[in-house]
Amino acid sequence: MARTTLTRTILAAVSVASLFTLGACASDAGGEPAGGGETDAAAPDDGVITLGFSQVGAESGWRAANTKSIQDTLTAENGFDLKFSDAQQKQENQIQAIRSYITQGVDVIAFSPVVETGWDPVLQEAKAAGIPVILTDRAVDSSDETLYESFIGSDFVKEGEMAGEWVVEQYDGEGYKAVELQGTTGAAPAIDRKEGFESAVEGSDLEIIDSQTGNFTRAEGKTVMEGFLNKHDDIDLVFAHNDDMGLGAIEAIEAAGMTPGEDIKIVTIDAVKDGMQALADGKINYIVECNPLLGPDLAEIAKKVIAGEEVEKRIVVEDLAFDQESAKEALPTREY
Ligand code: GZL
Ligand code: ZN
């Protein structure tokens, strides 16, 4: 795709102007387009940003809300031509999608890496092709930070800590035995939420007696919880890395004739509608939110990257937390 410095300059000027109207930081306001040409992101000829997005899959309510946010925001009227692919939670499908975006010569590539490792080769190919990459939701464990422009997502260690701190506050001293439903093996949220939870409960008398991956899905969360219930008769609490696995655990606990939220407490992360409903109904005891609405941030960062603007390397999305009372209040106006 032929690109001229003139187009880039005009686009940069236009994007600086549009940043003005968006109430963007004044520091970019100088006469010259700030940082023009710093990245090797050449401007698209027609002002439309063609963005190739590789999504993890459709494994959970969170993922559905995340996909909706991206597709609702990166629209033609917002200046985007979005190419979207669903990898069914397989890294090889994501690598294939990224390679196809490189071949198509898109202006920007964005993706949520299903696992942390194994991305350097394909990201080096994108870099060699002069196509900037933006990470959303999950991070990569790459030593080469030049392989992506920015990472937009939550602090998963903090989410695990918030869950653990609440459990210690509520139940320390009662000798609770807990089981853990881990997210997808190798995924940043699974690794980091486990780390955060364990660090928060360290020193309390809570004992994690079993831990296994439920791959972030309701079905696998239920199956793993059935296994835990067959193996242990002294489970007091479930820590699930996402609502969907917590909802699967509820089904298994009820099938075993016990009352979730009472006989066995449940703490999860995400705060999607189905999880918040279970929390309001008393079947879950606490949920730490993980905001999936990353579309607007992605659109803004993509426009800045194309305009050659400086972008922050790491944009942390703020997360709240809910107990049964605050869930009842929040439910009516929940966006997801
Ligand atoms: C977290 C995201 C996780 C959610 C799960 O940012 O990657 O993946 O917690 C989803 O629900 O499957
Ligand atoms: Zn890591």
Q: Which of 68, 216, 276 to mutate to test the pocket of ligand 1 (most atoms within 8 A of CB)?
A: 216
Q: What are phi and psi of 80, to 5 degrees?
A: -120, 150
Domain 24-154+292-318 shares a fold with domain 156-289: yes
Q: What is the pLDDT of residues 109-160, one digit of tens each?
A: 999 999 999 999 999 999 999 999 999 999 999 889 999 999 999 999 999 9
CB 35 within 8 A of CB 309: yes
- Of 13 and 86, the one with more pLDDT: 86
C-alpha distance from residue 95 to each of 102, 122, 265 (Å): 11, 7, 39
Q: What is the residue extent of each domain of the chain?
A: 24-154+292-318, 156-289
Q: How many CA within 13 A on the CB side of residue 241? A: 29
Instruction: Provide the pLDDT for residue 336.
Output: 87
Kindly tell me if the per-residue pLDDT of 228 is higher than 70: yes
Task: Return the sign of the alpha-carbon dihedral for residues 195, 197, 200, 204.
Answer: negative
Give the pLDDT confidence score for residue 46 in this predicted structure. 81
- Pocket lining: 192 vs ligand 1, CB cutoff 6 Å: no
Q: Which amino acid is at 148?
A: Y
Round to whole Å and give the CA distance between 100 and 102: 5
- Mean pLDDT, range 23-39, rounded to an integer: 39
Do the Cβ atoms of 311 and 304 come closer than 8 Å?
Answer: yes
CATH of 24-154+292-318, one of 3.40.50.970, 3.40.50.1820, 3.40.50.2300, 3.40.50.720: 3.40.50.2300
Fold of 156-289: Rossmann fold (3.40.50)
**Does residue 7 surpass a pLDDT of 80?**
no
* Separation between Cα atoms, residue 42 and residue 40, nearest integer Å: 6
Beta strand 49-55 pairing with 80-86: parallel
**pTM for this one?**
0.86
At 317 the pLDDT is 86
Confidence of residue 41 (pLDDT cuts 50, 70, 90): low
323: helix, strand or coil: strand
Q: Ligand 1, residues 59, 69, 290, 294: which to mutate, most atoms within 8 A of Cβ?
A: 290
Higher pLDDT, 41 or 74: 74
Q: Which residues surround ligand 2, an ion (CB under 5 A)?
A: 116, 141
Residue 70, pLDDT > 50, answer: yes
* Span 185-227, pLDDT tens digits: 999 999 999 999 999 999 999 999 999 999 999 999 999 999 9
pLDDT tens digits along 254-282: 999 999 999 999 999 999 999 999 999 99
Which residue minimizes the CA distance to atom 11 of ligand 1?
62
Q: How far is the CA of 169 from the centre of ligand 2 (A)?
A: 28
Give 38: exposed, middle or buried? Use CB within 10 Å, 0-12, 13-18, 19+.
exposed
235 contact partners, CB below 8 Å, separation of at least 6: 177, 178, 179, 209, 228, 229, 264
Percent of residues, the chain, with pLDDT higher than 90? 84
> Does 329 have pLDDT greater than 80?
yes
When the pLDDT of each residue in the chain is averaged and rounded to a whole number, the result is 90
Number of H helices, E strands in the chain: 11, 12
What ranges in the chain are assigned the alpha helix state H? 5-21, 61-73, 91-104, 120-128, 156-171, 188-201, 218-231, 243-255, 273-280, 295-306, 324-330
* Residue 21 scores a pLDDT above 80: no
